[in-house]
């Protein structure tokens, strides 16, 4: 088995353990595999499925790719999901599903809901150079970024089907 395959297996095992640790007593454990229409390598967490796509491109392209795949850019409603997303990202800068492009300073998730929980880096969002898109930085905290931010390695999609 290659080093990459061992690493993916290790991370998947940790994520499954992490996922099981948030279940309340008496809840069923994570499904054995994703349902039809969700990539087979997606990871289950709190009733949703997540997958990292390592593809360069802007936020709008990432959003479109998730929709085409039947999901959406990942939303982060709470600290448990933030911790999961941070681990899943493995220190890669990735797009997440929020923007303030309609009204500066009013961050909305791609499902239209208002951002309540946040994990901004100190001094962020700062709207430097008209930054309107949510970026998960290497350190796992959030930054606002330009549509074509060159440092972004990809994006995280989520699916709501159990």
pLDDT, residue 6, reads 41
Q: Kindly report the pTM of this predicted structure.
A: 0.81
pLDDT, residue 24, reads 39
pLDDT, residue 14, reads 43
| Residues 50-69 pLDDT 10s | 999 999 999 999 999 999 99
**What would the DSSP string read from start to end of 69-119?**
TTSEEPP--SHHHHHHHHHHHTT--EEEEEE-SSSTT--EETTSPBP-S--
Overall number of domains in the chain: 1
pLDDT, residue 128, reads 84
Instruction: Give the three-state DSSP class for 134.
Output: strand
- Sequence-distant (6+) residues with CB within 8 A of 69 are 39, 157
Range of the domain at 123: 3-159
Which positions of the chain have pLDDT values less than 70? Answer: 1-30, 162
pLDDT, residue 30, reads 67
Cα distance between residue 157 and residue 88, in whole Å: 11
pLDDT, residue 161, reads 78
Cα distance between residue 38 and residue 69, in whole Å: 8
The CATH number linked to 96 is 3.10.100.10
pLDDT, residue 15, reads 41
């Amino acid at each position: 088995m290659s080093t990459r395959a061992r690493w993916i297996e290790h991370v998947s095992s940790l994520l499954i353990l992490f996922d099981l640790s948030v279940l309340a007593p008496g809840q069923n454990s994570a499904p054995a595999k994703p349902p039809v229409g969700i990539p087979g390598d997606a990871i289950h967490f709190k009733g949703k499925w997540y997958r990292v796509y390592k593809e360069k491109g802007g936020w709008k392209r990432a959003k479109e790719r998730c929709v085409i795949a039947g999901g959406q850019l990942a939303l982060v409603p709470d600290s448990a999901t933030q911790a999961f997303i941070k681990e899943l990202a493995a220190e890669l800068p990735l797009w997440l599903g929020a923007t303030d492009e309609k009204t500066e300073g009013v961050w909305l998730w791609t499902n239209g809901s208002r951002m309540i929980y946040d994990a901004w880096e100190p001094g962020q969002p700062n709207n430097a150079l008209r930054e309107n898109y949510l970026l998960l930085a290497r350190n796992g905290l959030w930054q606002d970024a330009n549509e074509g931010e060159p440092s972004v390695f990809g994006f995280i999609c989520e699916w709501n089907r159990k």
